[in-house]
Structure 1
Amino acid sequence: MTFFANSSSKYGNGTKAPSGSLKDSQLSNQLQLYKSRIAARYRILKPSRIVKDIQEKVWISAKIDGELWFLVKKEGNVALCAYNGRVIENIEITDEAEEKLKDVGDIIIPGELFSAEIDSKNTNEFGGKEKRPRVHSVSKVLADGKLSCQLGFKAFDMMKFKDDVYSKVPYGSKLKTLEKLFNNGKRVTIPPTVKGEGAEDVANYFDEWVMTKKTEGLILRNESEIIHKLKTQVTVDAVIIGFGERANSYPDLGQMIVALMRSNGMYHILGTVGGGFSDDDRRDWYDRLIKMEIESDYKLSNKHGTLCRFVRPEIIVEIKCSEVVAADSKDNPKRRAVLSYQNGKYTAAGQMPLVSMVHPIFQREREDKTLDEANIGLNQIYSIVPFESKDEKPDIKKLKRSEIVQREVYTKTTGFDPEDAKSISEVEEPLLLIKTIGNNRLKHFKEAGITNLDQINEENREKLLALPTSSEFYVELWIEQANNLNQENIRFAGNFTRDSDGKLNKNKIKIFDLDSVEAGLLYVRKYVLIKTNKEKQDERYPPFVLFSTDFSPNRALPVNTSVQVANNKENAGLLIEQWTQKNVKKGWKTV
């Protein structure tokens, strides 16, 4: 036990402690809160938008490729602490910090912990020698106490100084204090920082520091404490192996599942890509991919809780993302499924380390690329962020089978007197009943002389196509829905409401088939409690999983699902009790 940590092991001449070791719970909460708040304040800035988005003076700092740690002094003791509770004490870097901070009181300073040959005469102000620091080097140095002298710390902010909270102090004042504290520092310094006049200076330093690979990127701060992160973007070529659908009244693409090829020919899932598509693109991709659907014993759900479809690995696409990261918040390597593709079917081969993409965007199809390791291999990523086990085979574990330990299904049938249902002719604005028509589109229709559902037909196709942002896809949809709404057995319930700006709101309108109304509508809510039996084989599995489903036929998204986890049966029981109190009320019956 040390001053800061409740458990530790020898590291270099000092000690290090794993996640969760920080004794001071108040300090731990402060560090975690800073991490969550600072992450929310960062805005990704593309190089192409420098001129448009930077219109004032900014402080331009080099972004050091390291891990977020905090230099902490408390009651005369100095340590490096991470937000997840790791602690480093009494090594070269903390000894230097202790000397620098000997004349100040308690202090908390966020910064980047990086790795470099700091004793080398060729080490530059960015922390590198011939190459810039890389974040993956930090974990290697932390694993070997003989390399403790290679750790450096670039202080970029202040949380607490001389018992004062510094969160609202202007950055310019913080910078002056940091420069004074760490002047002529060797291991503990501040990142190269200059005051820029605007976009031109930002562009110049981006070329001078980032494009020459001296640093990973730039951090830009203005007087309003808005923080931009400016980096070169990462592009990667990957193969589409599946897709998910959006929750619409018509089928279209929600996100692509893309994968890279390992040296043994297996496909390693890189992640999902949902940005970069127009509505027409999403419909076209759906129509194309649905014809390529194949069987897979590996299942993956989309964000709506429905299962994704898997397709033949044939189409290669280019993806752009702001960055890739190889570890989670606890510094555990991110792991993703590796799939074997044989005889027209995917089979899960195991989980292996791979990076996650941050803000992935679809760019284009790469018809010039071929389906081989040279074009869609792991080296594209490994050259940027080396990760574990690149050349190893998947670790295939025979996991114990899960079991259902509790399951309940509840239903409720509702309806209303058909006499209360109104015909479509009684609607204030019948065109608004078409799902893709809102107030702005309604204005376009009226300007074209189309004021009722009967006018949305084949005879007016050219007029419909001439509407702003119209397309063949939308015209087909409008005509189909207008025909459906004009059927004799269609009724509606509820009334339009008006927003504060006077626009009509159709959220309270419900459309029914009269035959269904007479029979009543069936609502279903259920839960399943699963005991995984896998937590001792793989720590990523929770002991218990509670999966719940809520089906409502009138809702825009009829099926809602949720997943909760529990570390023991008692806590699982509490989750079920809370779910039941919230969802099972008057009128619901057990099936």
Structure 2
Amino acid sequence: MNLNNGSPLGKGTLHPAGSVLDAELMASVQTYRRRVASAYRSVKPDEIGTGIFGAPFLVSPKVDGELWFLKIEEGSAALISSNGKSIVGDVPILIEAREVAAKVKGLTLIAGELFAASTGKDRPRVGDVASAMAGGASAKVERLGFMAFDLVQGLLSDAPQQLAYSERLDAITGLLASGKRLKAIKTDPISSVSELPNLFAELVDGGKAEGLIVRSSQGTIYKVKPEFTVDVVIMGYTARTEDPQSVRTLLLGLTREDGHVQIAGHCGNLGGDSERRALMSRLQSLQCASTFRCPSRSGDLFTFVRPEVVAEINVTDLQVESSDGHVVRSMALDFDEKSGWRAVGAMPTANWLHPVLVRIRDDKKADAIGTRFSQILDRCHVEDVSAHVHERQLPESKVIRRTVWTKTTKGKVAVRKLVAWQTNKSDIDPTFPAYVLHWTDYSSGRATPLDREVRTAPTEELMQEIAARMIEENIKKGWEEVS
């Protein structure tokens, strides 16, 4: 296995992200991560009886750690993450793994949770992993453990993922039967969803696990974890097209230790019509300038507001990596009373799942205490959370294409417009796409007069292909190009 760089980790070595140069190995790791990520379904504890299907089930505790992969081959062992980090050398967990490696032939790749034993009576927390790996040669690596839960490659066949999960689990359970720090996850077979509440109460409510992983006989993997709330500052909003006096989506942020506000996510689950109108009435008076533009998922640009309103949001889970293993990043901004918002730089963060507005917190201030970023750190580990955000000068975007068409029907003029530009920022900041296309469709006779669509592309060639499809699908007889 080819590796780049590296720093001491106890008597072993930790190689940073992107260090694993074996393309075939990394393809296996990333393909598995994408496939598993797409198979997961998050379920709230109170939805167990109505949201889980496909009995019988295999149920295991959700270990609060990081997804890593154990690679064993010809007496050697290494731990690999989906973004190309690697741990090698005489780390206790790998010494144990090398003994296992002597029992197998060829390459075996096992997925599991890298965790760190708690120093107290509490269960392991994801933040414990970073703590145990800090300190270089003095790192507390003896605390690290690996809870295996799936066989990715080898042991049974060249393609074990084509076999039943029960077969894969039995294989790694047998292989790791004598392990101390290296074990297969304890899994209980149950025949009915009615048995899940008792398991949840025992393992999760009892403080033994972060949640439950429920694998159905149909292949769906359910993740059942307690919900939690986060206090965030409202940074902006979009309006409903059909009712401009109602908020459609909120742009929300968390306050970092240095005072910058980092975008935490969007929330469109805001309650009924009256709640949305009340939000609009309050936020419209707080509108302010912003040199940073942020689109919602519908393509509408957020209208920025002064950071004065705090909201309590309920979420089911947090994810610090995208499906391809890259660290999730979002923009940190600075607010000035006179000039408004401006972007400072993108920093690591976490994506939240299923956000729901609970209430407005008029008893809290939008500051480094009331809306502090550290609220999410009990649930996930975010890198560089205490680092100061350094402002970077980014190059200007370049418009590559701008075309407008009009069509007159019964005296009314409809307009369609395509604008495509190169951001010139993607090589500097991965949160920016290389190319962006914006399609505008206006017709005063429709129930929703203004429609927008935003698409991104990694190359100019693909951008032009997307533009051609948009034109082919939307510009028919009667439309005239005017620019």
Aligned pairs for 1:96-115 within 5 A: 96-105=96-105, 106-115=107-116
Alignment of 1:389-428 (within 5 A): 390=385, 393-397=388-392, 399-404=393-398, 406-413=400-407, 415=409
Q: Which residue of 2 aligns with 1:529?
A: 421
1:8–1:546: structure 2 CA closer, same or farther, 3 Å change rule?
Answer: same
| Structure-2 residue corresponding to 1:156 | 149
- Where do 1:89-488 residues align within 5 Å? 89-92=88-91, 93-105=93-105, 106-116=107-117, 130-139=121-130, 141-142=132-133, 144=136, 146-147=138-139, 148-160=141-153, 161-196=155-190, 198=192, 201-248=195-242, 251-262=245-256, 267-328=261-322, 330=325, 332=327, 334-343=329-338, 345-370=340-365, 373-385=368-380, 387-388=382-383, 390=385, 393-397=388-392, 399-404=393-398, 406-413=400-407, 415=409
Q: Which amino acid aligns with 2:178?
A: N
- Look up the equivalent residue of 2:467 and give its one-letter code: W
Q: Secondary structure at the match of 2:370?
A: helix
TM-score for the superposition, normalised by structure 2:
0.82
Shift of 1:257: 1.8
Give the drift of 1:402: 0.8
SS of 1:296's equivalent in the other structure is: coil
Which segments of 5 or more consecutive residues in structure 2 lack a partner in the other structure? none
Distance 1:334 1:579, change over 3 A: closer
Hey, what does 1:507 align to over in structure 2? none
Q: Take 1:323 and 1:63, find their aligned partners in 2: how far apart are those partners?
A: 12
CA RMSD of aligned residues (A): 3.6
Q: Which residues of structure 1 form unaligned runs of 5+?
A: 117-126, 416-513
> Which residue matches 1:488?
none
Q: 3-state DSSP class of the match of 1:285?
A: helix
Q: Closer, same or farther in 2 for the Cα pair 1:220/1:245, shift >3 Å?
A: same
Aligned to 1:376, the other structure's residue is in SS state coil
Residue from 45, 48, 53 that aligns with 2:46: 48
Query: 1:28 is paired with a residue of what secondary structure?
Result: helix
* 1:527-548 alpha-carbon deviations (Å, 9 max, x no partner): 343453x567x44366953444
Q: CA deviation at 1:256?
A: 1.2
Distance 1:142 1:579, change over 3 A: farther
The structural deviation recorded for 1:237 is 1.9
Question: How far 1:357 sits from its partner (Å)?
Answer: 1.9
> Aligned to 1:157, what secondary structure does the other structure show?
strand
Q: Against the structure 1 CA distance between its residues 331 and 548, is the aligned structure 2 distance closer, same or farther, given a 3 Å change threshold?
A: closer
Task: State how far apart, in whole Å, the 1-side matches of 2:143 and 2:403 are.
Answer: 59
Q: CA separation in 1, counterparts of 2:167 and 2:69?
A: 19
Q: Aligned letter for 1:100? A: V
CA contact (8 A) 2:74 2:104 kept: no
Separation in 1, partners of 2:326, 2:423: 27
Report the Cα distance in structure 2 between the residues aligned to 1:577 and 1:590, rounded to whole angstroms.
Answer: 22
Which deviates more from structure 2 when the two are superposed, residues 161-170 or residues 10-19?
Answer: 10-19
Q: Which has the higher contact order (CA 8 A, sep 6+)?
A: 2
Cross-structure match for 2:81 = 82
Taking the aligned partners of 2:365 and 2:132, their CA distance within structure 1 comes to 38
- Structure 2 residue aligned with 1:583, among 447, 455, 471? 471
Q: Per the alignment, do residues 311 and 527 of structure 1 end up closer, same or farther by CA in structure 2, a change over 3 Å counting?
A: closer
Any idea what the Cα deviations from partners look like across 1:41-96, whole Å, max 9, x if unmatched?
21112111234445855333121122222223456654333333333334433332
For the pair 1:33 / 2:31, whether they are aligned, the reply is yes
Question: Which residue pairs with 1:433 in the alignment?
Answer: none
Letter in 1 for 2:151: M
SS at match of 1:302: coil
CA contact (8 A) 2:257 2:386 kept: yes
| 8 Å Cα contact 1:406-1:530 kept in structure 2 | yes
Contact conserved, 1:22 with 1:85, CA < 8 A, in 2? yes
Out of 497, 515, 520, the residue aligned to residue 411 of structure 2 is 515
Deviation at 1:134, TM superposition (A): 2.7
1:430 maps to which residue?
none
Q: C-alpha displacement at 1:310, in angstroms?
A: 2.2
- Name the % identity: 28
C-alpha distance in 2 between matches for 1:286 and 1:318: 17
Q: Is the 8 A contact 1:338 1:352 kept in 2?
A: no
- Matched residue type, 2:295: S
Q: Structure 1 pair 572/142, CA: closer, same or farther in 2 (3 Å)?
A: farther
Contact 2:312 2:361 in 1 (8 A): yes
Alignment match, 1:67: 66
SS at 2:94's partner residue? helix
Structure 1 distance, partners of 2:346, 2:423, is 21
Distance 2:355 2:67 in 1: 23
Q: Secondary structure at 1:248's aligned position in 2?
A: coil
1:352 & 1:82 partners in 2: Cα distance?
A: 20
Q: Quick one: which amino acid aligns to residue 44 of structure 1? A: S
